[in-house]
């Protein structure tokens, strides 16, 4: 008898799903039978992934909006309908991109981009989705965080703080809404290969040397792939995980052990 996860009849909103890990999660949830609202702050990316799902026989709609804009989030969730599954995947530094450096040389204006997406974006989307879940007495929230929040990384203070804040927020929400049949969990990622192809095999000698040094701390000596994440997320949002909440699951190749 095959082991299957069935999400038929459930609507999932996946933020930051226009590429990378978010795209893999959206595809996985659709393959399990869920309908997917594909979010990205770049409309063309959201539409591309939604079309990819539809072309494979799944159900999907694009839902472009900026998670750091609360009013835009509320309007988008109202448009897409009753969200049964929320995957808070949008992260990094949003459209502005990363700008890491020594914390002692930064200013509050440098921190805003990380909190806007990685903490407030999570809060915005969760706030928008929860009332409907409470009304239906059922729901799943999974938030993608980073090992920087659990382990700490130099030159990533604001990003780590925002991701740690999202984890603490998720634990609080889990305690608050568990009585309504809603679970809230986090998945903490190590270094993920952002490319869609065999980037490690095609790296220059200098890039390969930097990657080799980076991966010395990993038990499994490669960067993560989007599909390494999507399977766990699909399980956590399924009926099979109805007694799992308030937890953080590392997906990191063994970068941290028992942390």
- What pLDDT does 195 receive? 63
pLDDT tens digits, residue range 132-153?
Answer: 999 999 999 999 999 988 888 8
- What pLDDT does 215 receive? 80
- Mean of per-residue pLDDT scores for the chain: 92
pLDDT average, residue stretch 224-244:
97
* CATH numeric code, 11-196+225-251: 3.40.50.720
- What pLDDT does 207 receive? 66
Q: Please report which confidence band the pLDDT of residue 196 belongs to, taking 50, 70 and 90 as the band edges.
A: low
Q: Which of 113-117, 167-171, 196-200 has the lowest mean pLDDT?
A: 196-200
Is 223 within 8 Å of 215 (Cβ atoms)?
Answer: yes
Cα atoms in the Cβ-side hemisphere of radius 13 Å centred on 225 = 11
Residue 206: alpha-carbon gap to chain centroid? 30
Is 113 within 8 Å of 94 (Cβ atoms)?
Answer: yes
Residue 192 DSSP class: B
How far, in Å, CA of 12 to CA of 50, rounded?
12
pLDDT average, residue stretch 74-87:
98
- What pLDDT does 203 receive? 64
- What pLDDT does 154 receive? 81
Instruction: Please state, in angstroms and as integers, the Cα–Cα distance from residue 214 to each residue in 83, 175, 210, 211, 218, following that order.
Output: 38, 37, 6, 5, 8
Q: Please report which confidence band the pLDDT of residue 204 belongs to, taking 50, 70 and 90 as the band edges.
A: confident
Cα-based angle 44, 46, 48 (whole degrees, multiple of 5)? 65
Q: Which DSSP helix (H) or strand (E) runs through 75?
A: helix 70-80
Residues marked active site are found at: 159
Cα atoms in the Cβ-side hemisphere of radius 13 Å centred on 8 = 2
pLDDT average, residue stretch 159-174:
97
How far, in Å, CA of 51 to CA of 59, rounded?
9
pTM comes to 0.93
Which backbone phi and psi does 35 adopt, to 5 degrees? -85, 140
- What pLDDT does 212 receive? 72
Q: Which of 33-37, 67-71, 84-88, 157-161 has the lowest mean pLDDT?
A: 157-161
How far, in Å, CA of 257 to CA of 259, rounded?
6
């Amino acid at each position: 008898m095959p082991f299957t996860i069935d999400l038929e009849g459930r609507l999932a909103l996946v933020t930051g799903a226009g590429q990378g890990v978010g795209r893999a999660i959206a595809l996985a949830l659709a393959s399990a039978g869920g309908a997917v609202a594909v979010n990205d702050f770049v409309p063309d990316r959201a539409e591309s992934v939604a079309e990819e799902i539809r072309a494979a026989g799944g159900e999907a709609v694009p839902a472009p909006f900026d998670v750091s804009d609360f009013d835009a989030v509320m309007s988008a969730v109202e448009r897409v309908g009753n969200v049964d599954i929320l995957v808070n995947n949008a992260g990094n530094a949003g459209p502005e991109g990363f700008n890491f450096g020594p914390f002692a040389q930064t200013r509050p204006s440098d921190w805003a981009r990380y909190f806007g997406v990685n903490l407030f974006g999570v809060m915005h989307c969760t706030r928008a989705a929860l009332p409907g879940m409470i009304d239906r007495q059922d729901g799943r929230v999974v938030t993608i965080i980073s090992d920087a929040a659990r382990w700490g990384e130099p030159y990533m203070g604001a990003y780590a703080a925002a991701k740690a804040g999202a984890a603490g927020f998720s634990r609080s929400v889990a305690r608050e809404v568990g009585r309504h049949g809603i679970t809230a969990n986090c998945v903490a990622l190590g270094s993920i290969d952002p490319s869609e192809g065999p980037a490690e095999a095609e790296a220059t000698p200098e890039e390969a040397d930097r990657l080799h040094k980076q991966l010395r701390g990993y038990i499994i000596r490669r960067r993560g792939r989007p599909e390494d994440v999507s399977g766990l997320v699909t399980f956590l949002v399924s009926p099979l995980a109805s007694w799992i909440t308030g937890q953080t699951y590392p997906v990191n190749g063994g970068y941290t052990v028992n942390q």
